[in-house]
Structure 1
Amino acid sequence: MARIVRIHAYGDASVLQLEDVDVPAPLADEVQIQVKAIGLNRAEVMFRNHAYLQEAEFPSRLGYEAAGVVMAVGSAVSEFKVGDAVSVIPPLDIARWGTYGEVANVPAYLAVKHPSNLSFEQAAASWMQYVTAWGALVEQAKLSQGDVVLVTAASSSVGLAAFQIARSVGATAIAVTRTRAKQQALLDAGATHVIISDEEDLVERVMALTNGQGARVVFDPIGGPSFEALTQSMARGGILLEYGALSPEPTPFPLFTVLGKSLTLKGYLYAEIVSDPAALARAKAFILEGLTSGALAPIIAKTFALDEIQAAHGFLEANQQVGKIVVTV
Structure 2
Amino acid sequence: MARIVRIYQHGGPEVLRIESVDVSGPGRGEVQIRVKALGLNRAEALLRSGFYIETPTLPAGLGLEAAGIVETVGEGVDGFVPGDAVSVVPPLSMIRWPAYGELATFPAELVVKHPPSLSWEAAAAVWMQYLTAYGALIDIAGLRRKDFVVITAASSSVGLAAIQIANIVGANAIAVTRASGKKQALIELGAAHVIASAEEDLETRLKDIAGPEGVRVVFDPVGGPIFEPLTAAMSRGGILIEYGGLSPEPTPFPLFTVLSKCLTLRGYLVHEVIGDPARLEAAKAFILDGLISGSLQPVIARTFAFDQIVEAHRFLESNEQFGKIVVTV
Q: Normalising by structure 2, report the TM-score.
A: 0.99
**Which amino acid in structure 1 is aligned with residue 261 of structure 2?**
K
Residue 241 (structure 1) aligns with: 241
CA drift of 1:212 comes to: 2.3
Give the Å deviation of 1:99. Answer: 0.7
Superposition map of 1:135-146 within 5 A: 135-146=135-146
Q: Which residue of 2 aligns with 1:326?
A: 326
Where structure 1 has 5 or more consecutive residues not aligned to the other structure, the ranges are: none
- DSSP-derived class of the 1:95 partner: coil
CA distance in 2, matches of 1:247, 1:141: 23
Shift of 1:21: 1.1
Give per-residue Cα distances to partners, 1:113-167, cap 9 Å, x unaligned. 0001101100000000000000000000000111110000111000000000000
Q: Does 1:314 align with 2:310?
A: no
State the secondary structure of the residue aligned to 1:218: strand
* Rounded Cα–Cα distance in structure 2 between residues aligned with 1:280 and 1:141: 16
Which residue does the alignment assign to 1:165?
165
The residue aligned with 1:2 is: 2
Q: Which residue of 2 aligns with 1:19?
A: 19
Structure 1 distance, partners of 2:51, 2:247, is 13
Q: How far is the alpha carbon of 1:198 from its aligned partner? A: 1.1
- Which secondary structure state, in structure 2, belongs to the residue aligned with residue 210 of structure 1? helix
Aligned partner of residue 24 in structure 2, secondary structure:
coil
Matched, 1:129 2:124: no
1:32 aligned partner, one-letter code: Q
SS in 2 for 1:98: coil
TM-score (norm 1): 0.99
| Cα distance between partner residues in 1 of 2:114 and 2:322 | 23
Alpha-carbon distance between aligned partners in 1 of 2:138 and 2:59, rounded to the nearest angstrom: 38
Q: Distance between the aligned counterparts of 2:188 and 2:27, measured in 1? A: 43
Match of 2:271 in 1: 271
Q: Which moved more, 1:203-212 or 1:56-65?
A: 203-212
Tell me the equivalent position of 2:81: 81
Matches of 1:210 and 1:263 in 2, distance apart? Answer: 17
Encode CA deviations 1:42-75: one digit per residue, 9 max, x unaligned. 0100110001101111110000000000000011
Post-superposition shift, 1:211? Answer: 2.1
Q: Deviations over 1:267-311 (max 9, x none)?
A: 011000011111000000000000010010000000000000000
Aligned match of 2:41: 41
Q: Distance in 1 between matches of 2:181 and 2:81?
A: 46
- What pairs with 1:176-325 in structure 2 (closer than 5 Å)? 176-325=176-325
Unaligned runs of 5+ in 2: none
- Once residues 77 and 196 of structure 2 are traced to their aligned partners in structure 1, the CA distance between those partners, rounded to angstroms, is 49
Corresponding pairs, count: 329
Deviations 1:153-205 (CA, angstroms, capped at 9, x unpaired): 11100000000000001101001111111111111222111001111111111
Match of 2:90 in 1: 90
Could you give the per-residue CA deviations for residues 72-101 of structure 1, whole angstroms, max 9, x where no partner exists?
001110111110000000001012111111
1:200 partner letter:
E
What is the identity, as a one-letter code, of the residue corresponding to 1:11? G
> After TM superposition, which residue ranges in structure 1, 4 or more long, deviate above 4 angstroms?
none
Q: Deviations over 1:235-273 (max 9, x none)?
A: 111000000111121111000000111101110110000
Q: Secondary structure at the match of 2:211?
A: coil
Identity, % of aligned pairs?
A: 62
In 1, distance between residues paired with 2:149 and 2:296?
Answer: 17
